[in-house]
Amino acid sequence: MPKWAFTATSRTGQKVNIVTGEPTDTITVHSQEDLDRRIAAAENDPRDLQVTVRRIH
């Protein structure tokens, strides 16, 4: 099953990583459905997120 590294960075500098408070966070996504949901959510996020997706498996 493929996996993806999903990275979101706030173009406005707002917190994305809830642990460190950094404006960038990367997570591993394990399903296409979850990846699609996260991409759609990022499009409407008020932090003006820049998203990169890299297949890792």
The pLDDT value recorded for residue 25 is 98
- The average pLDDT across 5-31 equals 97
Q: Is residue 19's pLDDT more than 90?
A: yes
Euclidean distance between CA atoms 32 and 2, whole angstroms: 8
For the entire predicted model, the pTM comes to 0.90
Whether the pLDDT of residue 57 is over 90: the answer is no
Residue 1 in this model has a pLDDT that exceeds 90: no
- State the pLDDT confidence band at 4, using cuts at 50, 70 and 90: very high
- Quickly tell me which residue has 């993806």 as its tokens: 4
Query: Residues 51, 5: contact at Cβ < 8 Å?
Result: no
CA dist 30 and 45 (Å) reads 22
Contact present, 55 and 7 (Cβ < 8 Å): no
